Amino acid sequence: MLISHLQQKATVVKNLSTTRWSARSDACLSLRRSWKEIIEALDAIDDDVSQTPTTQNEAAGLSKNLQNFIFERFNATTKRLQCVNIDIGTVVKLYDGLTTLVQDTRDEFERFERDAKELSGLEDYDSSTARPRKIKLPFDVSPQGHIQLSPRDKFRVNTFLPILDKLSHELRRRAEAYKSLNSNFGLFENMSMLSNEDLLAQANHLCSQYPNDLDDKLPNECLHLCSYLKCIGALDIPVSQLLKTIVEDSLEVIYPNAYVALSIFLCTLATNCSAERSFSCLKRVKNYLRSSLSEERLNSFALPAIEAEIVRKFSYDNIIDKFAKMKVHSKRLC
């Protein structure tokens, strides 16, 4: 019945996944685009005498209480955050952009209110037509300090603004973790804007953060690398392209510490899973079975990526042959 009410090529109402929060965005998007048609379908089910009373009551309740919240910008950003080629610097910029968007949205209550009225077909708040509630105050409390908000202001102060403030707080909390890491490697992204003194200071700070992987030669390597990039006209290239340039030009021997630092930075996982799990049924599982990729296994994957130069020299023929013998079929495929 719902499909019969939808327009041609309209987005069908999506099923709500219990393991991925981005399903909320898809579900809300279909509601947004076909709002009137969905309401008409629910009303038709409510009026259909062939339906069971339970189905009619559920349709009537959904028709009255259906709400919409749009995650479109958050969903698009989340998909970019889950890309395999994203780096920490891009993650920080995306989080800052979302935070600014949420903060600017606080001043657009009238626009959201106008869109909500257009979608719902209502002209006023339900509580505006109800009789004002008289609050009985204790005898020692003066009524002068008690402020009675209008239904519109009450919704804005108690619902609209708290939701946006909570979103802004959570975005800043996640961004701080990435900014702390990104600040350690910021010299590779801002070489064209840093003076020699600032470049040396940031390189020394990076060495202090990774004493087991980097030595005191990194500051001089960074100065030399900056001069080399100026000569080839590649001073403003992205960090990923910088590492690729070092590998393609066989400069690992000249800049060994810079090569290791760039490898650590680019091999650091940038995906944030806490928001995904907060909407997921997997959050209920509080043991090692919650994910097939444990922290130990992720570290094992990161090590070959960082030491890619050594890994490329290995021969995997024996490992491939052994794996093929273990997985060989008992019957011939002919």
Residues 212 and 275 in one domain: yes
CB 90 within 8 A of CB 116: no
Q: Looking at residue 257, what is its pLDDT?
A: 92
pLDDT tens for residues 227-263?
888 888 887 888 888 888 998 888 989 999 999 998 8
pLDDT band at 155 (very low <50, low <70, confident <90, very high): confident
pLDDT tens for residues 33-49?
666 677 777 777 777 77
CB 91 within 8 A of CB 58: no
Residues 55 and 118 in one domain: no
Q: Looking at residue 327, what is its pLDDT?
A: 64
Q: How far is CA 139 from CA 130, 146, 170, in A?
A: 27, 14, 42
pTM, two decimals, is: 0.53
- Domain-embedded: residue 140: no
| Boundary-marking domain end, from 50, 70, 90 | 70
Residues 258 and 174 in one domain: no
The phi and psi torsions of 305 (rounded to 5 degrees) equal -70, -40
Q: Looking at residue 254, what is its pLDDT?
A: 92
- Domain-embedded: residue 265: yes
Q: Looking at residue 331, what is its pLDDT?
A: 47
Residues 248 and 118 in one domain: no
Q: What is the mean pLDDT of the chain?
A: 75
Structural domains counted in the chain: 3
Residues 48 and 112 in one domain: no
pLDDT band at 133 (very low <50, low <70, confident <90, very high): low
For residue 60, the enclosing domain spans 1-70
Q: Is the dihedral of CA 19, 22, 27, 28 positive or negative?
A: positive
CB 218 within 8 A of CB 206: yes
In 148-171, which positions are buried (b, 16+ CB within 10 angstroms) versus exposed (e)? eeeeeeebbeeebeeebeebbeeb
